[in-house]
Chain A
Amino acid sequence: MTEEIIIAGFGGQGVLSMGKILAYSGIMQEQEVSWMPSYGPEMRGGTANVTVILSDDRVSSPVLQSYDTAILLNQQSLDKFESRVKPGGLLIYDPNGITRHPERKDIRIFQVEATEEAARLKSRITFNMVVLGAYLRVRPVVEYDNVIKGLKKSLPERHHHLLPANEKAIRRGMEIVKEAKLTA
Protein backbone atom coordinates (compact mmCIF):
# COMPACT_ATOMS: atom_id res chain seq x y z
CA MET A 1 0.00 0.00 0.00
CA THR A 2 1.19 3.48 -0.89
CA GLU A 3 -1.09 6.48 -0.50
CA GLU A 4 0.08 9.82 -1.85
CA ILE A 5 -1.95 12.72 -0.52
CA ILE A 6 -1.99 16.49 -1.06
CA ILE A 7 -3.78 18.63 1.52
CA ALA A 8 -4.19 22.28 0.53
CA GLY A 9 -6.06 25.30 1.80
CA PHE A 10 -5.66 28.66 3.51
CA GLY A 11 -2.94 29.22 6.07
CA GLY A 12 -4.62 28.87 9.46
CA GLN A 13 -7.04 26.12 8.45
CA GLY A 14 -4.80 23.54 10.08
CA VAL A 15 -3.65 21.98 6.83
CA LEU A 16 -0.11 21.27 8.05
CA SER A 17 -1.18 19.93 11.44
CA MET A 18 -3.78 17.68 9.83
CA GLY A 19 -1.00 16.25 7.69
CA LYS A 20 1.18 15.81 10.73
CA ILE A 21 -1.53 13.90 12.62
CA LEU A 22 -2.03 11.68 9.58
CA ALA A 23 1.72 11.04 9.36
CA TYR A 24 1.91 10.23 13.07
CA SER A 25 -1.06 7.87 12.68
CA GLY A 26 0.87 6.10 9.93
CA ILE A 27 3.85 5.66 12.24
CA MET A 28 1.54 4.15 14.87
CA GLN A 29 0.51 1.62 12.20
CA GLU A 30 4.18 0.92 11.45
CA GLN A 31 3.99 2.53 8.03
CA GLU A 32 6.71 4.55 6.36
CA VAL A 33 5.70 8.20 6.18
CA SER A 34 6.79 11.54 4.82
CA TRP A 35 5.35 15.02 5.33
CA MET A 36 6.53 17.78 3.06
CA PRO A 37 5.12 21.27 3.47
CA SER A 38 5.17 24.24 1.19
CA TYR A 39 7.15 26.76 3.13
CA GLY A 40 8.03 30.36 2.44
CA PRO A 41 6.10 33.29 1.05
CA GLU A 42 2.88 31.39 0.43
CA MET A 43 2.66 30.48 4.12
CA ARG A 44 2.46 34.13 5.05
CA GLY A 45 -1.16 34.84 4.28
CA GLY A 46 -1.83 32.75 1.20
CA THR A 47 -2.36 29.10 0.52
CA ALA A 48 -0.62 26.35 2.46
CA ASN A 49 -0.18 22.81 1.30
CA VAL A 50 1.45 19.63 2.48
CA THR A 51 2.22 16.36 0.74
CA VAL A 52 1.80 13.31 2.97
CA ILE A 53 2.85 9.84 1.88
CA LEU A 54 1.93 6.68 3.80
CA SER A 55 3.45 3.45 2.57
CA ASP A 56 4.33 -0.11 3.48
CA ASP A 57 7.63 0.39 1.65
CA ARG A 58 10.37 2.98 1.94
CA VAL A 59 9.06 6.32 0.69
CA SER A 60 10.87 7.47 -2.43
CA SER A 61 10.11 10.92 -3.80
CA PRO A 62 8.41 13.34 -1.40
CA VAL A 63 7.90 15.58 -4.45
CA LEU A 64 5.00 14.49 -6.64
CA GLN A 65 3.24 15.61 -9.79
CA SER A 66 0.04 13.65 -9.16
CA TYR A 67 -1.74 12.26 -6.12
CA ASP A 68 -3.98 9.37 -5.06
CA THR A 69 -5.97 11.74 -2.89
CA ALA A 70 -6.41 15.52 -2.88
CA ILE A 71 -8.01 17.19 0.14
CA LEU A 72 -8.74 20.72 -1.06
CA LEU A 73 -10.04 23.36 1.27
CA ASN A 74 -10.32 26.55 -0.77
CA GLN A 75 -10.99 27.63 -4.34
CA GLN A 76 -7.34 28.30 -5.23
CA SER A 77 -6.33 24.82 -4.10
CA LEU A 78 -9.20 23.23 -5.99
CA ASP A 79 -8.24 25.11 -9.15
CA LYS A 80 -4.61 24.12 -8.76
CA PHE A 81 -4.84 20.48 -7.75
CA GLU A 82 -8.03 19.00 -9.26
CA SER A 83 -6.20 18.17 -12.47
CA ARG A 84 -3.39 16.53 -10.53
CA VAL A 85 -5.46 13.72 -9.00
CA LYS A 86 -4.56 10.38 -10.58
CA PRO A 87 -7.35 8.81 -12.67
CA GLY A 88 -9.41 6.68 -10.30
CA GLY A 89 -8.18 8.78 -7.39
CA LEU A 90 -10.06 10.67 -4.73
CA LEU A 91 -10.90 14.33 -4.22
CA ILE A 92 -12.43 15.62 -0.98
CA TYR A 93 -13.47 19.25 -0.58
CA ASP A 94 -15.49 21.54 1.62
CA PRO A 95 -18.13 23.26 -0.56
CA ASN A 96 -18.09 26.29 1.77
CA GLY A 97 -17.05 29.33 -0.29
CA ILE A 98 -16.58 27.29 -3.47
CA THR A 99 -18.01 28.85 -6.64
CA ARG A 100 -16.42 26.54 -9.21
CA HIS A 101 -16.94 22.94 -8.10
CA PRO A 102 -14.77 20.03 -9.26
CA GLU A 103 -15.79 18.58 -12.59
CA ARG A 104 -13.70 15.51 -13.26
CA LYS A 105 -15.56 12.34 -14.16
CA ASP A 106 -12.64 9.91 -13.84
CA ILE A 107 -12.13 10.35 -10.09
CA ARG A 108 -14.30 9.96 -6.99
CA ILE A 109 -15.38 13.28 -5.47
CA PHE A 110 -16.65 13.70 -1.91
CA GLN A 111 -17.91 16.71 -0.02
CA VAL A 112 -17.50 17.40 3.67
CA GLU A 113 -19.21 20.48 5.08
CA ALA A 114 -16.50 20.89 7.67
CA THR A 115 -16.69 24.67 8.12
CA GLU A 116 -20.39 24.38 8.94
CA GLU A 117 -19.88 21.35 11.16
CA ALA A 118 -17.04 22.97 13.12
CA ALA A 119 -19.28 25.98 13.72
CA ARG A 120 -22.07 23.67 14.87
CA LEU A 121 -19.61 21.96 17.24
CA LYS A 122 -18.72 25.44 18.51
CA SER A 123 -15.10 24.52 17.95
CA ARG A 124 -13.79 26.24 14.87
CA ILE A 125 -10.26 24.88 15.39
CA THR A 126 -11.46 21.29 14.98
CA PHE A 127 -12.32 22.06 11.35
CA ASN A 128 -9.32 20.10 10.14
CA MET A 129 -10.26 17.06 12.23
CA VAL A 130 -13.73 17.00 10.64
CA VAL A 131 -11.96 16.88 7.29
CA LEU A 132 -9.59 14.17 8.50
CA GLY A 133 -12.54 12.08 9.67
CA ALA A 134 -14.17 12.45 6.26
CA TYR A 135 -11.00 11.29 4.53
CA LEU A 136 -10.53 8.29 6.81
CA ARG A 137 -14.10 7.20 6.24
CA VAL A 138 -13.67 7.16 2.48
CA ARG A 139 -10.09 5.85 2.57
CA PRO A 140 -9.42 3.94 5.80
CA VAL A 141 -5.65 3.83 5.27
CA VAL A 142 -5.03 3.95 9.01
CA GLU A 143 -7.07 2.23 11.73
CA TYR A 144 -9.12 4.51 13.94
CA ASP A 145 -7.23 3.53 17.11
CA ASN A 146 -3.94 4.46 15.48
CA VAL A 147 -5.36 7.81 14.40
CA ILE A 148 -6.26 8.56 18.00
CA LYS A 149 -2.75 7.53 19.06
CA GLY A 150 -1.29 9.72 16.32
CA LEU A 151 -3.45 12.62 17.44
CA LYS A 152 -2.19 12.24 21.00
CA LYS A 153 1.42 12.05 19.84
CA SER A 154 1.24 15.18 17.72
CA LEU A 155 -0.58 17.38 20.26
CA PRO A 156 1.71 18.86 22.90
CA GLU A 157 0.73 17.67 26.38
CA ARG A 158 -0.55 21.07 27.42
CA HIS A 159 -3.23 20.65 24.74
CA HIS A 160 -4.30 17.14 25.72
CA HIS A 161 -7.53 18.47 27.24
CA LEU A 162 -8.55 19.16 23.62
CA LEU A 163 -8.34 15.46 22.67
CA PRO A 164 -12.04 14.65 23.26
CA ALA A 165 -13.19 17.60 21.12
CA ASN A 166 -10.84 16.52 18.34
CA GLU A 167 -11.98 12.90 18.51
CA LYS A 168 -15.59 14.04 18.32
CA ALA A 169 -14.79 16.16 15.28
CA ILE A 170 -13.13 13.19 13.54
CA ARG A 171 -16.19 11.04 14.19
CA ARG A 172 -18.53 13.78 12.93
CA GLY A 173 -16.47 14.07 9.76
CA MET A 174 -16.87 10.32 9.24
CA GLU A 175 -20.64 10.70 9.55
CA ILE A 176 -21.28 13.70 7.36
CA VAL A 177 -19.00 13.00 4.39
CA LYS A 178 -21.00 12.37 1.22
CA GLU A 179 -20.34 11.64 -2.42
CA ALA A 180 -20.73 14.80 -4.51
CA LYS A 181 -23.43 14.84 -7.14
CA LEU A 182 -22.13 16.33 -10.32
CA THR A 183 -24.49 18.83 -11.87
CA ALA A 184 -22.76 18.99 -15.21
Chain B
Amino acid sequence: MKELALMKGNEAIAEAAILAGTDAYFGYPITPQSEVLEYLALQKPEERTGMVVLQAESELAAINMVYGAAGTGKRVMTSSSSPGISLMQEGISYIAGAELPCLIVNVVRGGPGLGTIQPSQADYFQATKGGGHGDYHLIVLAPASVQEMADFVDLAYELAFKYRNPAMILSDGLIGQMMEKVELPPQKPRTSEFDQSWVITGKRPDRERNIITSLNLDPELQYEHNLKLKEKYNRMSEDVMFESLHCDDAEFLLVAYGSSARICQKVVAVARGRGQRLGLLRPQTLFPFPTDELARLAGKVKGIMAVELSTGQMVEDVKLAVNGRVPVYHYGMPGGKVHSPDDVLEAVEENFIGG
Protein backbone atom coordinates (compact mmCIF):
# COMPACT_ATOMS: atom_id res chain seq x y z
CA MET B 1 0.00 0.00 0.00
CA LYS B 2 1.17 3.52 -0.75
CA GLU B 3 2.24 5.59 2.22
CA LEU B 4 -0.48 8.14 2.83
CA ALA B 5 -0.06 11.03 5.20
CA LEU B 6 -2.75 13.14 6.85
CA MET B 7 -1.50 16.68 6.52
CA LYS B 8 -2.57 20.29 6.60
CA GLY B 9 -2.30 22.07 3.25
CA ASN B 10 0.47 24.27 4.62
CA GLU B 11 2.41 21.25 5.84
CA ALA B 12 1.95 19.53 2.48
CA ILE B 13 3.49 22.53 0.70
CA ALA B 14 6.45 22.48 3.08
CA GLU B 15 7.05 18.74 2.75
CA ALA B 16 6.62 18.91 -1.04
CA ALA B 17 9.15 21.75 -1.11
CA ILE B 18 11.77 19.53 0.51
CA LEU B 19 10.88 16.60 -1.77
CA ALA B 20 11.00 18.81 -4.89
CA GLY B 21 14.67 19.49 -4.22
CA THR B 22 14.20 23.10 -3.15
CA ASP B 23 17.58 24.71 -2.47
CA ALA B 24 16.40 27.51 -0.25
CA TYR B 25 13.31 28.84 1.51
CA PHE B 26 13.19 32.39 2.85
CA GLY B 27 10.10 33.46 4.77
CA TYR B 28 8.48 35.33 7.59
CA PRO B 29 5.57 34.03 9.69
CA ILE B 30 1.98 35.19 9.23
CA THR B 31 -1.39 33.53 9.89
CA PRO B 32 -2.85 31.45 8.19
CA GLN B 33 0.41 30.38 6.57
CA SER B 34 2.79 29.99 9.50
CA GLU B 35 2.79 26.18 9.42
CA VAL B 36 4.95 26.27 6.28
CA LEU B 37 7.89 27.79 8.12
CA GLU B 38 7.12 25.88 11.34
CA TYR B 39 7.05 22.55 9.53
CA LEU B 40 10.29 23.30 7.67
CA ALA B 41 12.00 24.29 10.92
CA LEU B 42 10.90 21.04 12.59
CA GLN B 43 11.89 18.85 9.66
CA LYS B 44 15.49 20.10 9.59
CA PRO B 45 15.75 19.93 5.78
CA GLU B 46 19.35 21.14 6.09
CA GLU B 47 20.03 17.62 7.34
CA ARG B 48 17.70 15.82 4.94
CA THR B 49 18.75 17.42 1.65
CA GLY B 50 20.96 20.38 2.46
CA MET B 51 18.09 22.81 1.82
CA VAL B 52 18.47 26.22 3.45
CA VAL B 53 15.54 27.41 5.55
CA LEU B 54 15.84 30.94 6.81
CA GLN B 55 13.44 33.13 8.72
CA ALA B 56 14.17 36.58 7.37
CA GLU B 57 13.74 39.79 9.35
CA SER B 58 10.83 40.88 7.17
CA GLU B 59 8.90 40.01 4.03
CA LEU B 60 10.96 42.58 2.13
CA ALA B 61 14.14 40.83 3.14
CA ALA B 62 12.68 37.42 2.31
CA ILE B 63 11.67 38.29 -1.25
CA ASN B 64 15.00 39.99 -1.96
CA MET B 65 16.81 36.91 -0.69
CA VAL B 66 14.68 34.96 -3.15
CA TYR B 67 15.68 37.42 -5.88
CA GLY B 68 19.37 36.98 -5.17
CA ALA B 69 19.26 33.20 -4.81
CA ALA B 70 17.10 32.81 -7.92
CA GLY B 71 19.82 34.59 -9.89
CA THR B 72 22.14 31.67 -9.17
CA GLY B 73 19.72 29.27 -10.89
CA LYS B 74 18.66 27.51 -7.69
CA ARG B 75 15.18 26.32 -6.79
CA VAL B 76 14.10 28.95 -4.28
CA MET B 77 10.82 29.86 -2.68
CA THR B 78 9.02 31.97 -0.14
CA SER B 79 5.55 31.86 1.36
CA SER B 80 3.33 34.35 3.11
CA SER B 81 -0.26 35.51 3.38
CA SER B 82 -1.96 38.52 1.82
CA PRO B 83 -0.49 41.51 3.76
CA GLY B 84 2.94 39.89 3.62
CA ILE B 85 2.61 39.27 -0.12
CA SER B 86 1.74 42.95 -0.58
CA LEU B 87 5.00 43.85 1.14
CA MET B 88 6.84 41.61 -1.34
CA GLN B 89 5.41 43.20 -4.48
CA GLU B 90 8.39 45.41 -5.29
CA GLY B 91 10.70 42.40 -5.20
CA ILE B 92 8.29 40.28 -7.22
CA SER B 93 8.13 42.94 -9.93
CA TYR B 94 11.95 43.04 -10.07
CA ILE B 95 12.13 39.23 -10.28
CA ALA B 96 9.58 39.23 -13.12
CA GLY B 97 11.50 42.01 -14.88
CA ALA B 98 14.79 40.17 -14.47
CA GLU B 99 13.10 36.96 -15.68
CA LEU B 100 14.08 34.71 -12.81
CA PRO B 101 12.34 31.51 -11.80
CA CYS B 102 11.10 31.14 -8.23
CA LEU B 103 8.07 30.01 -6.26
CA ILE B 104 5.91 32.33 -4.14
CA VAL B 105 3.12 30.82 -2.05
CA ASN B 106 0.21 33.02 -0.98
CA VAL B 107 -2.16 31.48 1.59
CA VAL B 108 -4.77 34.20 1.20
CA ARG B 109 -6.70 35.82 4.07
CA GLY B 110 -9.37 38.52 4.00
CA GLY B 111 -8.46 42.11 3.23
CA PRO B 112 -7.77 44.91 2.35
CA GLY B 113 -5.20 46.03 4.89
CA LEU B 114 -4.53 43.66 7.76
CA GLY B 115 -8.08 42.41 7.24
CA THR B 116 -8.90 39.09 8.86
CA ILE B 117 -7.04 35.80 9.26
CA GLN B 118 -9.98 33.85 7.82
CA PRO B 119 -9.88 32.41 4.28
CA SER B 120 -10.50 34.60 1.25
CA GLN B 121 -9.89 34.72 -2.51
CA ALA B 122 -9.57 38.49 -2.61
CA ASP B 123 -5.99 38.46 -3.95
CA TYR B 124 -6.98 37.19 -7.41
CA PHE B 125 -6.36 40.55 -9.08
CA GLN B 126 -3.01 40.98 -7.34
CA ALA B 127 -1.87 37.47 -8.28
CA THR B 128 -3.02 37.33 -11.89
CA LYS B 129 -2.67 40.93 -13.10
CA GLY B 130 0.89 41.53 -12.01
CA GLY B 131 0.54 42.80 -8.47
CA GLY B 132 3.58 45.03 -8.44
CA HIS B 133 4.33 47.78 -10.95
CA GLY B 134 5.01 47.25 -14.64
CA ASP B 135 3.76 45.09 -17.45
CA TYR B 136 4.13 41.56 -16.13
CA HIS B 137 2.40 38.37 -15.09
CA LEU B 138 3.12 35.54 -12.71
CA ILE B 139 2.32 31.92 -13.48
CA VAL B 140 -0.52 31.30 -11.02
CA LEU B 141 -1.57 27.85 -9.81
CA ALA B 142 -4.71 27.37 -7.71
CA PRO B 143 -4.78 24.15 -5.65
CA ALA B 144 -8.19 22.89 -4.49
CA SER B 145 -7.01 20.11 -2.20
CA VAL B 146 -4.17 19.23 0.12
CA GLN B 147 -2.96 16.79 -2.55
CA GLU B 148 -2.72 19.63 -5.07
CA MET B 149 -0.92 21.80 -2.49
CA ALA B 150 1.78 19.11 -2.59
CA ASP B 151 1.64 18.38 -6.33
CA PHE B 152 1.75 22.00 -7.45
CA VAL B 153 5.09 22.76 -5.77
CA ASP B 154 7.15 20.76 -8.25
CA LEU B 155 4.85 21.79 -11.10
CA ALA B 156 5.38 25.46 -10.19
CA TYR B 157 9.14 25.01 -10.34
CA GLU B 158 8.93 23.22 -13.69
CA LEU B 159 6.87 26.03 -15.19
CA ALA B 160 8.98 28.74 -13.53
CA PHE B 161 12.15 27.31 -15.06
CA LYS B 162 10.50 26.57 -18.41
CA TYR B 163 9.52 30.23 -18.79
CA ARG B 164 12.12 31.82 -16.49
CA ASN B 165 9.29 33.50 -14.65
CA PRO B 166 8.15 33.66 -11.02
CA ALA B 167 5.31 31.24 -10.25
CA MET B 168 2.75 31.65 -7.51
CA ILE B 169 0.65 29.07 -5.70
CA LEU B 170 -2.52 30.96 -4.79
CA SER B 171 -4.15 29.11 -1.93
CA ASP B 172 -6.18 30.33 1.03
CA GLY B 173 -6.64 29.79 4.74
CA LEU B 174 -9.17 27.04 4.20
CA ILE B 175 -6.98 24.78 2.05
CA GLY B 176 -3.93 25.77 4.12
CA GLN B 177 -5.47 24.80 7.45
CA MET B 178 -7.49 21.73 6.50
CA MET B 179 -6.11 18.20 6.65
CA GLU B 180 -6.61 15.61 3.95
CA LYS B 181 -4.73 12.54 2.92
CA VAL B 182 -1.77 13.11 0.69
CA GLU B 183 0.37 10.84 -1.38
CA LEU B 184 3.82 12.38 -1.44
CA PRO B 185 6.22 12.15 -4.39
CA PRO B 186 9.70 10.61 -4.10
CA GLN B 187 12.64 12.81 -3.13
CA LYS B 188 14.09 14.72 -6.07
CA PRO B 189 17.79 15.52 -6.06
CA ARG B 190 18.76 19.13 -5.41
CA THR B 191 20.35 19.46 -8.83
CA SER B 192 18.60 20.97 -11.80
CA GLU B 193 18.74 19.87 -15.39
CA PHE B 194 17.53 23.08 -17.00
CA ASP B 195 19.54 25.55 -19.06
CA GLN B 196 22.11 27.21 -16.77
CA SER B 197 23.60 29.57 -19.36
CA TRP B 198 22.06 32.69 -17.76
CA VAL B 199 22.94 32.11 -14.11
CA ILE B 200 25.39 34.24 -12.15
CA THR B 201 27.67 31.82 -10.39
CA GLY B 202 31.00 33.31 -11.43
CA LYS B 203 32.16 34.28 -14.92
CA ARG B 204 34.18 31.68 -16.79
CA PRO B 205 36.96 32.86 -19.12
CA ASP B 206 35.28 31.29 -22.17
CA ARG B 207 32.15 33.45 -22.15
CA GLU B 208 30.84 36.96 -21.63
CA ARG B 209 29.64 37.85 -18.15
CA ASN B 210 25.98 37.32 -17.34
CA ILE B 211 24.04 40.29 -16.04
CA ILE B 212 20.78 40.04 -14.15
CA THR B 213 18.92 43.31 -13.89
CA SER B 214 15.46 44.76 -14.31
CA LEU B 215 16.86 48.16 -15.29
CA ASN B 216 16.78 49.31 -18.94
CA LEU B 217 17.38 53.06 -19.14
CA ASP B 218 17.21 53.02 -22.93
CA PRO B 219 13.49 53.04 -23.80
CA GLU B 220 14.21 51.11 -26.98
CA LEU B 221 15.66 48.25 -24.92
CA GLN B 222 12.78 48.35 -22.42
CA TYR B 223 10.32 48.34 -25.33
CA GLU B 224 11.97 45.24 -26.78
CA HIS B 225 12.01 43.64 -23.32
CA ASN B 226 8.30 44.28 -22.76
CA LEU B 227 7.44 42.77 -26.14
CA LYS B 228 9.57 39.74 -25.36
CA LEU B 229 7.78 39.32 -22.01
CA LYS B 230 4.42 39.67 -23.73
CA GLU B 231 5.34 36.96 -26.21
CA LYS B 232 6.33 34.73 -23.28
CA TYR B 233 3.04 35.34 -21.45
CA ASN B 234 1.15 34.46 -24.65
CA ARG B 235 3.13 31.23 -24.98
CA MET B 236 2.12 30.19 -21.44
CA SER B 237 -1.39 29.40 -22.68
CA GLU B 238 -0.06 26.01 -23.81
CA ASP B 239 0.27 25.10 -20.13
CA VAL B 240 -3.26 26.03 -19.12
CA MET B 241 -4.83 23.51 -16.73
CA PHE B 242 -8.43 23.05 -15.65
CA GLU B 243 -10.80 20.38 -14.41
CA SER B 244 -14.27 19.89 -15.89
CA LEU B 245 -17.09 18.44 -13.83
CA HIS B 246 -20.26 17.61 -15.78
CA CYS B 247 -19.51 20.32 -18.36
CA ASP B 248 -20.37 18.17 -21.39
CA ASP B 249 -24.15 18.34 -21.07
CA ALA B 250 -24.37 21.35 -18.77
CA GLU B 251 -27.15 23.85 -19.27
CA PHE B 252 -25.68 26.19 -16.68
CA LEU B 253 -22.06 26.49 -15.65
CA LEU B 254 -20.25 27.44 -12.46
CA VAL B 255 -16.65 28.66 -12.61
CA ALA B 256 -14.69 28.41 -9.37
CA TYR B 257 -11.15 27.73 -8.21
CA GLY B 258 -9.48 26.61 -4.99
CA SER B 259 -11.64 26.25 -1.88
CA SER B 260 -14.67 27.76 -3.62
CA ALA B 261 -14.42 25.03 -6.27
CA ARG B 262 -14.59 22.38 -3.55
CA ILE B 263 -17.81 23.93 -2.26
CA CYS B 264 -19.14 24.06 -5.83
CA GLN B 265 -18.42 20.35 -6.36
CA LYS B 266 -21.07 19.65 -3.74
CA VAL B 267 -23.39 22.22 -5.30
CA VAL B 268 -23.14 20.41 -8.65
CA ALA B 269 -23.78 17.02 -7.02
CA VAL B 270 -26.91 18.31 -5.23
CA ALA B 271 -28.21 20.13 -8.33
CA ARG B 272 -27.67 17.04 -10.50
CA GLY B 273 -29.63 15.07 -7.90
CA ARG B 274 -32.49 17.51 -8.48
CA GLY B 275 -32.29 16.95 -12.22
CA GLN B 276 -30.66 20.32 -12.94
CA ARG B 277 -27.93 20.17 -15.56
CA LEU B 278 -25.25 22.13 -13.74
CA GLY B 279 -21.53 21.89 -14.52
CA LEU B 280 -18.34 23.20 -12.97
CA LEU B 281 -15.22 24.46 -14.68
CA ARG B 282 -12.35 24.63 -12.20
CA PRO B 283 -9.28 26.56 -13.40
CA GLN B 284 -6.13 25.00 -11.94
CA THR B 285 -4.04 27.69 -13.56
CA LEU B 286 -5.40 31.22 -13.10
CA PHE B 287 -2.65 32.62 -15.29
CA PRO B 288 -2.80 31.31 -17.94
CA PHE B 289 -6.60 31.42 -17.59
CA PRO B 290 -8.70 28.79 -19.43
CA THR B 291 -10.10 31.42 -21.78
CA ASP B 292 -10.50 29.18 -24.81
CA GLU B 293 -12.32 26.45 -22.88
CA LEU B 294 -14.69 29.00 -21.37
CA ALA B 295 -15.35 30.55 -24.77
CA ARG B 296 -16.15 27.07 -26.12
CA LEU B 297 -18.50 26.31 -23.22
CA ALA B 298 -20.16 29.72 -23.57
CA GLY B 299 -21.43 28.50 -26.92
CA LYS B 300 -23.21 25.59 -25.26
CA VAL B 301 -24.68 26.84 -21.97
CA LYS B 302 -27.43 29.33 -21.10
CA GLY B 303 -25.63 31.10 -18.28
CA ILE B 304 -22.42 31.15 -16.29
CA MET B 305 -21.77 32.08 -12.66
CA ALA B 306 -18.37 32.79 -11.14
CA VAL B 307 -18.29 31.70 -7.50
CA GLU B 308 -15.41 33.08 -5.46
CA LEU B 309 -14.63 34.26 -1.94
CA SER B 310 -14.60 37.94 -2.89
CA THR B 311 -16.95 40.64 -4.15
CA GLY B 312 -16.01 39.71 -7.72
CA GLN B 313 -12.55 39.43 -9.27
CA MET B 314 -12.20 36.30 -11.40
CA VAL B 315 -15.65 37.08 -12.79
CA GLU B 316 -13.96 39.78 -14.91
CA ASP B 317 -11.79 37.19 -16.67
CA VAL B 318 -14.84 34.99 -17.12
CA LYS B 319 -16.67 37.90 -18.78
CA LEU B 320 -13.73 38.60 -21.08
CA ALA B 321 -13.67 34.96 -22.15
CA VAL B 322 -17.42 34.73 -22.62
CA ASN B 323 -17.44 38.06 -24.47
CA GLY B 324 -21.14 38.74 -24.01
CA ARG B 325 -22.44 35.52 -25.52
CA VAL B 326 -24.39 34.44 -22.43
CA PRO B 327 -25.22 36.18 -19.13
CA VAL B 328 -22.40 36.00 -16.56
CA TYR B 329 -23.25 36.28 -12.86
CA HIS B 330 -21.17 36.48 -9.74
CA TYR B 331 -21.74 34.96 -6.34
CA GLY B 332 -19.30 35.25 -3.50
CA MET B 333 -18.67 36.01 0.13
CA PRO B 334 -15.94 38.45 1.05
CA GLY B 335 -14.21 39.28 4.30
CA GLY B 336 -13.23 35.83 5.53
CA LYS B 337 -16.77 34.45 5.51
CA VAL B 338 -17.09 31.25 3.53
CA HIS B 339 -20.23 30.41 1.56
CA SER B 340 -21.80 27.03 2.21
CA PRO B 341 -23.08 24.79 -0.59
CA ASP B 342 -26.62 25.86 0.41
CA ASP B 343 -25.74 29.53 -0.14
CA VAL B 344 -24.49 28.79 -3.65
CA LEU B 345 -27.49 26.56 -4.42
CA GLU B 346 -29.75 29.46 -3.56
CA ALA B 347 -27.85 31.70 -6.00
CA VAL B 348 -28.10 28.95 -8.64
CA GLU B 349 -31.88 28.83 -8.17
CA GLU B 350 -32.14 32.60 -8.30
CA ASN B 351 -29.97 33.25 -11.36
CA PHE B 352 -30.42 30.13 -13.44
CA ILE B 353 -33.45 28.12 -12.57
CA GLY B 354 -35.88 30.89 -11.66
CA GLY B 355 -34.24 33.43 -13.97
Residues of A near any B CB (own CB < 8 A)? 20, 23-24, 27, 32-37, 39-40, 59-66, 153-154
In the bound complex, what is the Cα–Cα distance between A80 and B282 (angstroms)?
A: 33
Q: Establish whether residues A23 and B6, one from each chain, have CB atoms under 8 Å apart when the complex forms.
A: yes
B334 is an interface residue with CB less than 8 A from chain A? no
Interface stretch of the complex, out of B52-60, B258-266, B292-300: B258-266
- Minimum C-beta distance from B35 to chain A (A): 10
Q: Establish whether residues A60 and B4, one from each chain, have CB atoms under 8 Å apart when the complex forms.
A: no
List residues of chain B with CB within 8 A of the CB of A34. Answer: 178-180
Q: Which of B178, B181, B262, B341 contacts A37 (CB 8 A)?
A: B178
In the bound complex, what is the Cα–Cα distance between A62 and B264 (angstroms)?
A: 11
Q: Establish whether residues A62 and B6, one from each chain, have CB atoms under 8 Å apart when the complex forms.
A: no
Contact A60/B178 with A27-B6, A40-B31 known, Cβ cut-off 8 Å? no
List residues of chain B with CB within 8 A of the CB of A64. Answer: 340-341
Contact A60/B269 with A27-B4, A153-B6 known, Cβ cut-off 8 Å? yes
With A35-B178, A65-B340 already in contact, 4 other A-B pairs whose C-beta atoms are closer than 8 Å: A32-B181, A39-B173, A61-B340, A153-B6
B249 is an interface residue with CB less than 8 A from chain A? no
B177 is an interface residue with CB less than 8 A from chain A? yes
In the bound complex, what is the Cα–Cα distance between A23 and B146 (angstroms)?
A: 14
In the bound complex, what is the Cα–Cα distance between A109 and B19 (angstroms)?
A: 47
- Minimum C-beta distance from A132 to chain B (A): 16
In the bound complex, what is the Cα–Cα distance between A83 and B284 (angstroms)?
A: 36
- Minimum C-beta distance from B273 to chain A (A): 12
Q: Establish whether residues A63 and B263, one from each chain, have CB atoms under 8 Å apart when the complex forms.
A: yes
List residues of chain B with CB within 8 A of the CB of A61. Answer: 262-267, 340-341
Q: Which of B4, B178, B181, B342 contacts A36 (CB 8 A)?
A: B178
- Minimum C-beta distance from A117 to chain B (A): 27
Q: Establish whether residues B181 and A62, one from each chain, have CB atoms under 8 Å apart when the complex forms.
A: no
Q: Residue-by-residue, is B251-285 near A (CB-CB < 8 Å gives 1, otherwise 0)?
A: 00000000100111111010000000000000000
B32 is an interface residue with CB less than 8 A from chain A? yes
List residues of chain B with CB within 8 A of the CB of A62. Answer: 174, 178, 259, 262
